[in-house]
Structure 1
Amino acid sequence: MKIENSRLISGAAPHFEHRRSDINANSFAEIVPVIPGQIGGRQTSIVSAKALHAALGVGNDFSTWVKGRIEEYGFSLGADYVVFDPSNFRNQSTDFNHPVTKWTSRRGGDRRSKDYGLCLNMAKELAMVERNEQGRAVRRYFTQCEEALQISAPEIAVQYRRQLKARISAASMFKPMCAALDAARAELGKQTQQRHYTNESNMIARIVLGGLTAKQWAQSSGITTEPRDSMSAGQLEHLTYLESTDITLIDMGMSYDQRKAELVRLSQRWLAKRLEVH
């Protein structure tokens, strides 16, 4: 595989090895890199399969997952992907105005592992077949990144990268919040119904969306798809912060009304700090 000495499409500083826990811990600092290169002598955009595997939150280990998908969907070596040793490839520049001129090992030493450079169409298909929120968000990012390239606007790709990071972070917080609520109610001898999860989610959404639930916000905005897919990066980051905080408040034994009051207070402080930064 030939890696061009050119700028990154994603705007991230990619490590081709990621841990799934990095994403679940809401520290998605390094998103899926999309870099210009060649597969089979054909100029294309290339995605690290290892980075994609981590972003999708796949349950299987990397090797089992990528080999299984290649066999299941009939992808071809030299046409859809190439195999390479990633230990010498880590981008040192996040500046679009400076070319990528050097890649160094993240792990150091002589340890080697195998990665797969995927063409963008293959990466999009792999994201689609995972059928989870992460897969939908990543596939949408690839599509948007492609569109941004067509109009030679890399700054738009940076914006999409931030939105993808926020979208995946928001997806990773909802289930733990529900689990915390379930555990807290179980300790009180109460059974948790679907409406309890919905009430908790709506309470947080109203704080972020000016008094509207996600469904109401989508309807008022003419959005017919999943509401979170159309939220801005700022809204998603706000949502993620409140969901993460709510888990702590639930674990502290606060009632619904106490949590709501505290989340409103903390939300105002969070927004004020954001205004100071910007």
Structure 2
Amino acid sequence: MGNKQTELEKKMTNITNLVPVTETQLNGKLQQTVSAKDLHNYLNVGNDFLTWIKGRIKEYGLINNDDFLIIDSSEFRNQSTNNEQQIKWTSERGGDRKSTDYILTIGTAKVLAMIENNEKGRAIRKYFIRCEQHFKEIEPVIQKKELKRLKARIEVADYSRPMCDALTIQRLSQNKETKLHHYTNEFNIINGIVLGMSAKDFRKAHNITGDIRNYLNEQQLNHLAYLEKSNITLIDMGWDYEKRKPELIKLSKSYMIRLLGDEASCP
């Protein structure tokens, strides 16, 4: 009996290495997900990957951004189940056919494994069930993390309007009209520093719509809030766009150094 358990654990460990389960923001919530390419390779399906996955999507009516995401697979590597950063992905248009992957919810992955109706499919289905059970055990911790993220989301929203108001007042004092692109420039400075791209580019890269801040993690939101608060101060001091931009970059670097120092000092 003990030997059987040992063999089972070995099998589960092997599956874990071959088909890692990660956490991805999907439909506004953190979900367990699996690379369809990894699953396809493990199941040793006869068809090539794209023929297989597209056939399953059509046959079982799977829905994009609900049951799966289309990504650049080069971005979906070395992600542990404890990774607190959001997984980055790009739209199918953004990569070649070789790099395209489909990130499946664990529920979808279970279905695709089950319908193969072979030993490997049954084994990996049991593995996915174990992952779900573990996820439920740690769900209170995840919920706590999500509450912190929501708090950070509210905080950054509190600074967005005052930043726009400060810019309007500054430009009025200079007898200048404030147009939409002036506000957009402010957000693009800060988004560019924190995310490395504008909101428009972020939506395109992540195949999302709406306010990008609904998709950011707690650390990113706190970083944005800090820079928006700092930007308000710089605007009130009368600094123009060209002078504020390098100062915000410098403040951002100092912020990240302090953050990394705080994390390193935590037990």
Scaled to the shorter chain, the TM-score interval is 0.3 to 0.5
- Larger % of helix: which? 2
TM-score (norm 2): 0.47
TM-score (norm 1): 0.45
